[in-house]
Amino acid sequence: MNIQENYNHIKNQLPEHVQLVAVSKTHPVSAIQEVHDLGQRVFGENKVQELMEKYPLLPKDIQWHLIGHLQTNKVKYIAEFVDTIQSVDSDKLLLEINKEAGKHNRIIKVLLQVKIAEEESKFGLEIEEAKDLFQKYINGEYQNIEITGLMGMATFTEDESQIKEEFLNLKSLFDELNQQKPLKTLSMGMSDDFPIAIDCGANSVRVGSAIFGRRDYSK
């Protein structure tokens, strides 16, 4: 399968209301350009350095999402152009994004990343921490940020019932916060589990290898 076939295959599986974030990490700008030419405008990268290298080489109508763990000292490098930061996992980071967005007179959209997986390795806020941050947001503490929703990653397992349970946990937090202040985006699901995520209420999925092919980290 080539990129175009992969892309069309994924797009055909997504209901109208589900946004596709094409995760292009480790793949060259030529591949991103190819997917852009097919009409895709939302792309996700997980490293600041890589995003900074690719950004100037690609069309300016791309909405870049940062989906990987972000260190506070790197926010300044992307604050001018990043569309959405999906991986907000601390108050400190939120304050830094707010400050840097202010310098550029913009509002940066963010998702709170919530830890729903069993694995220790996954980043993210505990449910209670996410609720606390959202409360501060509602109280007006971050003027240059819009919290548009939540992001989560399920445990890497074959056990579909576990994946489903984790996604449903995030969906129920989403519904709860959404009652306090309307949210737009529930970002869950990757190449291997996006159909389950959509069944559980995701309206944004982050798909990489199913579009671009396997990632080669040896390069």
User: 143 or 158: whose CB is closer to ligand PLP?
Assistant: 158
Contact pattern for ligand PLP over residues 33 through 62, marking x by CB under 6 A: -------------x----------------
Q: How far apart are CA 165 and CA 147, in angstroms?
A: 24
Q: Which is nearer to ligand PLP, 97 or 207 (CB)?
A: 207
Q: Is 25 in the site for ligand PLP (CB under 6 A)?
A: yes
Q: Rule CB under 6 A: is residue 190 a binding residue for ligand PLP? A: yes
Is the Cβ of residue 41 or residue 215 nearer to ligand PLP in the bound state?
215
Is 206 among the residues that bind ligand PLP (CB under 6 A)?
yes
Tell how strand 42-45 and strand 63-66 pair up.
Answer: parallel
- Region 160-179 residues binding ligand PLP, contact defined as CB under 6 A: none
Of 81 and 123, nearer to ligand PLP (C-beta) is 123
* Minimum CB distance to ligand PLP smaller for 165 or for 192: 192
Give 23's Cβ-side CA count (13 Å radius): 21
What whole-number distance in Å separates Cα of residue 178 and Cα of residue 182?
A: 4
As measured in angstroms, the least distance from the Cβ of 25 to ligand PLP is: 6
DSSP 3-state assignment of 188?
strand
Q: b or e along 2-14 (b: 16 or more beta carbons within 10 Å of the residue's beta carbon)?
A: ebeebbeebeeeb
Residue 117 CB, nearest approach to ligand PLP (Å): 11
According to DSSP H, which parts of the chain are helical? 3-13, 29-37, 48-54, 75-78, 91-103, 127-138, 160-180, 194-199, 209-212
Which residue has tokens 């999925």?
205
The answer to whether residue 23 forms part of the interface with ligand PLP (CB under 6 A) is yes
* Interacting residue ranges for ligand PLP, rule: CB under 6 A: 23, 25, 46, 67-68, 153, 190-192, 206-210
